[in-house]
């Protein structure tokens, strides 16, 4: 995997396809390869050059044990775009990655043509604060959940009832979660970055076209929080994908990909 030196850090990235570039930014603890199964094939087939980023703190990007901020993440995205001479380009962010993209849109709008913001929010509510505090406590404790227990918890948090009630699909998901369990301490630098003040007023200054996507059954970032972001960004479009939870881009990839591609062709 190539490494970009940008914003004072080494950032892992991958490139696929040719055409107009799209930079894709994942959420807390997730590597850039999460996009490879569904989004990369669809977007390259639609004629795009797809660039996936491993956020700082996620190998092979620098761990940055001294800590970092949401502004650092936004500057990393800007630095990668400039390193690859890809701007102005389209950018897709998911969850924490979408919040970082929102800050990029405020700080460096000239680098962005259009943006898609999935499972995003513009403020921290009580449930977000509680989940974040629990994750940080677990990471700081030095303990780890047994893989089967972690898989069960991850399924309840991130999948929709449609998937949870489909026993064959659920068995597949549980097997994946058990094999790919993330040590909370390894993502410590990213935990807590989604604890943001109310940024909705600031988002009124965003000038680039945005599509905000909410997932109907999302329990981590409930869709009303994403709708708030859409209402805050002038001229933005909101779409809600039914029948999926926080991992909507993996549960309902065809619907998500169609929404992204349709928006980028307008």
Cβ atoms of residues 27 and 73 within 8 Å: no
- What is the C-alpha to C-alpha distance for residues 53 and 231, in angstroms, rounded to an integer? 28
- What is the C-alpha to C-alpha distance for residues 164 and 187, in angstroms, rounded to an integer? 26
Give pLDDT tens digits for 178-201. Answer: 887 665 555 666 777 888 999 999
Quick one: tokens of 56? 């700082």
Lowest mean pLDDT among 178-187, 208-217, 246-255: 178-187
Between 27 and 1, residue with greater pLDDT:
27
Give the list of residues 6+ apart from residue 102 with CB closer than 8 angstroms, or none: 93, 117, 120, 122, 199, 203, 206, 229
Query: Cα 215–182–213 angle (5° rounding)?
Result: 15
Domain boundaries, the chain: 3-125+196-264
Cβ atoms of residues 96 and 28 within 8 Å: yes
pTM beyond 0.75 = yes
DSSP-assigned letter for residue 221: S
CA 30 to chain centre: 8
DSSP-assigned letter for residue 166: -
| Residue 29: per-residue pLDDT | 83
Q: Supply the DSSP string of 92-149, one letter for each residue.
A: EEETHHHHHHHHHHHH-GGGEEEEEEES--SS--HHHHHHHHHHHHHHHHT----HHH
Q: Locate tokens 């940080």: which residue?
A: 136
**CATH for the 3-125+196-264 domain, from 3.30.70.100, 3.40.50.1820, 1.10.240.10, 3.30.2450.30:** 3.40.50.1820
CA 244 to chain centre: 16
For residue 242, give the 3-state DSSP assignment: coil
Residues with catalytic roles:
95, 218, 246
Quick one: tokens of 38? 């569904």
| Residue 63: per-residue pLDDT | 87
Q: Which residues of 116-150 are buried (b: 16+ CB within 10 A; e: fewer)?
A: bbbbbbbebeeebeeebeebbebbeeeeeeeeeeb
- What is the C-alpha to C-alpha distance for residues 8 and 79, in angstroms, rounded to an integer? 9
Give pLDDT tens digits for 124-165. Answer: 999 999 988 888 888 788 777 888 999 999 999 999 999 999
Quick one: tokens of 120? 């995003």
Nearest C-alpha neighbor of 1 from the set 31, 41, 28: 31
Give pLDDT tens digits for 46-95. Answer: 999 999 999 998 899 998 878 889 999 999 999 999 999 999 999 999 99
């Amino acid at each position: 995997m190539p490494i970009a030196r940008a914003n004072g850090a080494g950032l892992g990235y991958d490139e696929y396809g040719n055409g107009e570039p799209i930079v894709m930014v994942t959420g807390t603890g997730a590597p850039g390869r999460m996009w490879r199964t569904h989004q990369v094939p669809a977007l390259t087939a639609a004629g795009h050059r797809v660039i996936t980023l491993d956020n700082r703190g996620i190998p092979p990007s620098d761990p940055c044990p001294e800590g970092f901020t949401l502004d650092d993440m936004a500057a990393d995205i800007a630095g990668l775009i400039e390193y690859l001479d890809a701007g102005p380009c389209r950018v897709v962010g998911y969850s924490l990655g979408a919040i970082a993209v929102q800050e990029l849109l405020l700080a460096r709008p000239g680098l962005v043509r259009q943006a898609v913001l999935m499972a995003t929010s513009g403020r921290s509510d009580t449930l977000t604060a509680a989940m974040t505090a629990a994750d940080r406590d677990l990471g700081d404790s030095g303990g780890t959940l047994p893989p089967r227990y972690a898989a069960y918890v991850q399924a309840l948090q991130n999948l929709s009832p449609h998937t949870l009630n489909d026993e064959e699909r659920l068995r597949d998901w549980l097997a994946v979660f058990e094999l790919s369990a993330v040590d909370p301490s390894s993502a410590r630098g990213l935990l807590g970055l989604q604890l943001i003040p109310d940024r909705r007023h600031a988002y009124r200054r965003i000038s680039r076209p945005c599509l905000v996507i909410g997932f109907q059954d999302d329990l981590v970032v409930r869709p009303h929080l994403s709708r708030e972001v859409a209402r805050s960004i002038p001229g933005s479009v909101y779409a809600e994908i039914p029948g999926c939870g926080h991992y909507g881009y993996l549960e309902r990839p065809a619907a998500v990909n169609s929404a992204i591609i349709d928006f980028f062709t307008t």
